[in-house]
Structure 1
Amino acid sequence: MLLFYNIAIYAYYFIIKIASTTNTKAKLWVAGRRDQQFRTLQKSAWFHFASLGEFEQGRPVLEAFKVQHPGHPIVVTFFSPSGYEVRKNTPLADAVYYLPLDTANNARQFIDTIDPVIAVFTKYEYWYHFYNEAHQRNIPLYVISAIFRPKQLFFKCYGGLHRQILGKVTRFFVQDEDSKTRLSTIGINNVMVSGDTRFDRVYANALAPKQLPLIERFKNNARVFIAGSTWPADEELIAPLITEHPDWKFIFAPHEIPEAKIIDLMGKLPADRTVRFSHIKADDQYLASKQVLVIDNIGMLSSLYQYGDVAYIGGGFGVGIHNTLETAAFGSPVIFGPNYQKFKEARDLVDLGGGFSISDAQQLKTIADQLINNDAHREQAGAIAKELVQRSKGATQIIMQNIEIRKE
């Protein structure tokens, strides 16, 4: 099975390399790994994140570790360009890299160079050679905010190699009891239910968000509908709400912001009432008179939600919804598409009445109309969402009390 795994790793690399001739993300993925040089470190703490979302999810543990163990340099790795390109200069780390391709030689050389005394992976990403190398060297390896579902490869009859990978983890900190029970069915019992560190992150962000004066000027005391991390399928559904609710303002923050996609989005919106954030000048006097604002940069969204009264989170018509908790922490009811079942927090929001799933334009109109036109209903739903965040925080403390660094 390991032979097939190794073949698949190399096959994936060559597919990405071919794609890099036409795809920007693939080009960054290949070039970033080809060009990077690793610094030799001693007794580092290695934190790996698949992408930007996982970085924000695991960030509370990284920050807490940095405070409690200041003598250990921090190494951060990313699998995806969307994480690396945004956080490559983060002051939280002493070194930030793309995770090398998972081969035995790469794993050995990388771990030789950074000399980790602990490795922390957030939510997922299970790489045989990196895990095996850490295990062989007695480097404590933790997976935090993990969640396991029945359809994952670990639980299939042909998932033996992937079960071996799990066996190399020192301890899993999982989001829920179902994940702990599921792991026990395959003999994995070094598991602790800690909850999800994203609640800690979004709660802290909501307590002291970055102020955005231009957004305040645009809001101008009006009610605001924020469409965050949207894709074209989401934007098609939301656009008609603008003319139906002229007394509300709308902010779109697309998940991807290439110029072609921004232009496509702008074409769906009323031209005379819409402005791009990058086109605003500090002395613009017309901003308060606009109804629609398009955010064409990365990094504002977590602070942007403080200005919203209702939020729509994109991705639910694709592989899955994006982060619903950032806006829930500010007390906004959350709307999203039908593909949300993989996300426990979204299921909880729906069950409690702080979140609403829609499958088509009519359902969105119905839910949006109810939240926009009924202040009491909107405020109650928002309070439910906020309360879920407040009572679910605390995972970071549990994790920090139960991890150890390698003893020399």
Structure 2
Amino acid sequence: MFWLEVYKFLGILFFELFKFYLLISGKSSEFNSLRLGNFSKFPKSRIWIHSVSVGELKAVEPFIKELKKRKHQIVLSVGTRAGFELAKSIYAKDSSVFVTVIPFDCVKTVKSFLNNLQPMAVFFVETELWPLFVHECKKKSIPLFWLNGRVSDRAFKSTGLYQIALSWMIPQFDLCLMRSLEDLRKASLISSSGNYGNIKGVCLGDIKYDKPFRKSTLKRSNFIKKNEKVIVLGSSHEGEEKIVFSLFDKLIKKFKNLKLIIAPRKIERIENIKKTFSDKKVLNWSDLNKGNKEAFDILMIDEMGILSQVYSIADIALVGGSWVKRGGHNPIEPCFFGIPTVFGPSMENFREVAGDLINSGGAVSASEYELLDIVENLLLDDSKRREVGLFGLEAVNSRKGVSKRMINEIEFLL
């Protein structure tokens, strides 16, 4: 296949460029070393699961739990630094899960990785599909699964090498466990466009409903007074803080005891974000943890991995990535804690989940211009907030069990 030869060449080129960059920059680290394929020996009798970053990593936890019940040894790889650090912290004391980093998708590292690992089955999570890994797995007759498969609108509309690669990869999977019927439809159309074969796929639901949200350990009373109300903006992207600050600025004139908590998607943006709020008292989460008891108007979450806990203390949750063209983030998190949830129109990455929550009455979709009226009405009506929160919680609980259904579907192939 000509396109695969082109891809192999590009893989080698990027691999060598990355090595050269590390050499001149001196940015050596465990993560970069593993990306280059410098890995240690893997445990035996293992299932390999690749989950790119934080969101996918958390989503796959219940699936890993089900595999562990069946005494499987698991190698879990990630593709980002944040994901690597989180995975190490989650499974630090778990001898049945070995955490590593996926190496570059180029011939040398792929063959070396798979020869060392010798997996009995491979799972790629959501959108994280790599042509050379798929190619080598098929050559070695390793069972290959697409777990919680997701096809973004961008991928569906793509052209060129990426579209050709997708149309070839999808039929190579022994089974595609798609998260929604819409994703199954899009994957089927992509695979049929390449004349490489048809998709072997089923839709059993979104694994994110099974995410094991832990009971919140945050005590709201430690930093929020009894008469204060809290809006939490989670996983915000550039541009959204200004939208929500404008909202907050208008609301605080009517609700004097209102507080705003912001958890940016990228915490390195915090110092720039704070410049937007120059006339408000802004505190970082780390300051509170150090014993700073100052009053604040806005609290910035500068720690990774605690967003679901922060959602648990909200009166209203705003889900970021949805008022800019980012496709939205996981609205299940605040709903799990019975928090009334609001998101914007850009929820393409969670289209079916968002639709389910809206239809159940557990979440509200609002444009930038509708946001003020919707949030103000929720703040004024305590019973309405409780009702929306309860409906959201019921919707989440009624859709659990996806991981177990997936295991039952593929167990005979393991």
Q: Could you state the TM-score of these two structures normalised by the residue count of structure 1?
A: 0.85
> Which residue number in structure 2 is paired with residue 175 of structure 1?
179
Residue 402 of structure 1 pairs with residue 402 of structure 2: no
Q: CA distance change for structure 1 residues 254 and 153 in 2, over 3 Å: closer, same or farther?
A: closer
CA RMSD of aligned residues (A): 3.2
For 1:305 and 1:24, locate their aligned partners in 2 and report how far apart those are by CA, in whole Å: 39
> Which residue number in structure 2 is paired with residue 53 of structure 1?
55
Residue number among 259, 262, 273 corresponding to 1:249 in the alignment: 259
> Which residue number in structure 1 is paired with residue 315 of structure 2?
309
Q: CA distance change for structure 1 residues 154 and 246 in 2, over 3 Å: closer, same or farther?
A: closer
For 2:171 and 2:345, locate their aligned partners in 1 and report how far apart those are by CA, in whole Å: 34
Matches within 5 A, 1:117-132: 117-132=120-135
Q: CA distance change for structure 1 residues 29 and 315 in 2, over 3 Å: closer, same or farther?
A: farther
Pairwise CA distance, 1:270: 6.3
For 1:87 and 1:402, locate their aligned partners in 2 and report how far apart those are by CA, in whole Å: 26
For 2:24 and 2:382, locate their aligned partners in 1 and report how far apart those are by CA, in whole Å: 48
For 2:58 and 2:24, locate their aligned partners in 1 and report how far apart those are by CA, in whole Å: 29
The answer to whether the 8 A contact 1:227-1:313 is kept is: yes
Residue 144 of structure 1 pairs with residue 154 of structure 2: no
Structure 1 spans left out of the alignment, 5+ residues: none
The answer to whether the 8 A contact 2:329-2:349 is kept is: no
The answer to whether the 8 A contact 1:218-1:290 is kept is: no
SS in 2 for 1:302: helix
Matches within 5 A, 1:319-338: 319-338=326-345
Q: CA distance change for structure 1 residues 380 and 88 in 2, over 3 Å: closer, same or farther?
A: same
Residue 192 of structure 1 pairs with residue 202 of structure 2: yes
Pairwise CA distance, 1:97: 1.8
For 2:76 and 2:274, locate their aligned partners in 1 and report how far apart those are by CA, in whole Å: 36
Residue 280 of structure 1 pairs with residue 288 of structure 2: yes
The answer to whether the 8 A contact 1:145-1:175 is kept is: yes
Of stretches 231-240 and 33-42 in structure 1, the one that deviates more from structure 2 is 33-42
Q: CA distance change for structure 1 residues 39 and 189 in 2, over 3 Å: closer, same or farther?
A: same
SS in 2 for 1:116: coil
Residue number among 151, 161, 165 corresponding to 2:169 in the alignment: 165
Pairwise CA distance, 1:49: 0.5
For 1:145 and 1:269, locate their aligned partners in 2 and report how far apart those are by CA, in whole Å: 39
SS in 2 for 1:265: helix
For 2:329 and 2:26, locate their aligned partners in 1 and report how far apart those are by CA, in whole Å: 21
Matches within 5 A, 1:8-23: 8-10=10-12, 13=15
Q: CA distance change for structure 1 residues 161 and 228 in 2, over 3 Å: closer, same or farther?
A: closer
The answer to whether the 8 A contact 1:154-1:162 is kept is: no
> Which residue number in structure 1 is paired with residue 362 of structure 2?
354
Pairwise CA distance, 1:67: 2.1
Residue number among 360, 363, 385 corresponding to 2:392 in the alignment: 385
Residue 239 of structure 1 pairs with residue 249 of structure 2: no
Cα deviation code 1:175-226 (max 9, x no counterpart): 222333444442534212110111010xx31xx424124x431123333211
Residue 369 of structure 1 pairs with residue 376 of structure 2: yes
Structure 2 spans left out of the alignment, 5+ residues: none
Q: What is the count of residue pairs matched by the alignment?
A: 395
Pairwise CA distance, 1:103: 1.8
For 1:111 and 1:280, locate their aligned partners in 2 and report how far apart those are by CA, in whole Å: 46
> Which residue number in structure 1 is paired with residue 104 of structure 2?
101
The answer to whether the 8 A contact 1:174-1:180 is kept is: yes
Pairwise CA distance, 1:334: 2.0
For 1:252 and 1:296, locate their aligned partners in 2 and report how far apart those are by CA, in whole Å: 9
Cα deviation code 1:51-86 (max 9, x no counterpart): 1111111111012111212xx432111122221132
Pairwise CA distance, 1:107: 1.7
| Code of the aligned partner of 2:182 | D
For 2:302 and 2:23, locate their aligned partners in 1 and report how far apart those are by CA, in whole Å: 25
Cα deviation code 1:78-115 (max 9, x no counterpart): 12222113223432464322211112332221111112
Pairwise CA distance, 1:373: 1.6
Cα deviation code 1:250-296 (max 9, x no counterpart): 211111112xx322233333666432221125655x45x54432211
> Which residue number in structure 2 is paired with residue 266 of structure 1?
274
For 2:82 and 2:374, locate their aligned partners in 1 and report how far apart those are by CA, in whole Å: 32
Q: CA distance change for structure 1 residues 128 and 292 in 2, over 3 Å: closer, same or farther?
A: same
Runs of 4+ in 1 over 6 A off after TM superposition: 14-29, 154-158
| Code of the aligned partner of 2:180 | D
Pairwise CA distance, 1:402: 1.9
For 2:285 and 2:389, locate their aligned partners in 1 and report how far apart those are by CA, in whole Å: 27
Matches within 5 A, 1:111-122: 111-122=114-125
Pairwise CA distance, 1:398: 0.4
Pairwise CA distance, 1:19: 8.4
Pairwise CA distance, 1:2: 0.9
For 1:268 and 1:151, locate their aligned partners in 2 and report how far apart those are by CA, in whole Å: 31
Residue number among 38, 41, 53 corresponding to 2:40 in the alignment: 38
Q: CA distance change for structure 1 residues 281 and 131 in 2, over 3 Å: closer, same or farther?
A: closer
For 1:266 and 1:151, locate their aligned partners in 2 and report how far apart those are by CA, in whole Å: 32
Pairwise CA distance, 1:37: 2.3
The answer to whether the 8 A contact 2:34-2:103 is kept is: no
For 1:154 and 1:8, locate their aligned partners in 2 and report how far apart those are by CA, in whole Å: 22
Pairwise CA distance, 1:356: 3.2
